[in-house]
Copies of this chain bind each other. A is one copy, B any other.
């Protein structure tokens, strides 16, 4: 016989070895040759574990996003008001935190790829991400309603809010602007409409 490697583990190892590289070079400027070199394997070997460049980039980015989601879950209960909780949910977009910048850059490129690929796993994963955020947001809103802070109609606005956030994000990129404050203002306006005044 011959050596049998744990394909799944090696896959993760290769991807894991390239986290930094991806953040540093971005998707477009990342070459398979570099990936192979960084992972300490031959170029051909990369293709024994991934069927194309998109797949390996996706593997790395998925890890990034899943980590970020875990982070969200771990921190979200520190927030007090409903609005604060909502804002924190969109922290990835709103945060001014420096170290996040490279992640944001890569995510921008990822979105770009997403818009021109037909890769089903990618679309599927994006749906999962939406669902993840969606469930948390729905919870937050439910709690707010139960606490008597906001009106029932807020439930119907969650969908639009999530889409608006993505819209602000994409337009900020597509037009070379910083729209964080505008998004916060928009949330303020929404809350003015749904908050129960005392």
Contact = CB atoms under 8 A, between A and B. Distances in A.
How many copies, total? 2
* A contact residues, range: 35 or more
Nearest to A125: B175
Contacts of A67: none
Nearest to A160: B186
Interface in A75-115: 108-109, 111-115
A192 interface: yes
Contact of A111 (B123, B174, B176, B179): B174
A116 B153 contact: no
Given A153-B193, A167-B167, A193-B153, A114 B174 contact: yes
A127 to B, nearest CB: 5
Contacts of A179: 163
Contact of A173 (B114, B156, B157, B168): B114
Interface of A: 27-28, 108-109, 111-116, 120, 123-124, 126-127, 130, 153, 156-157, 159-160, 162-168, 170-171, 173-177, 179, 182-183, 185-186, 189-190, 192-193
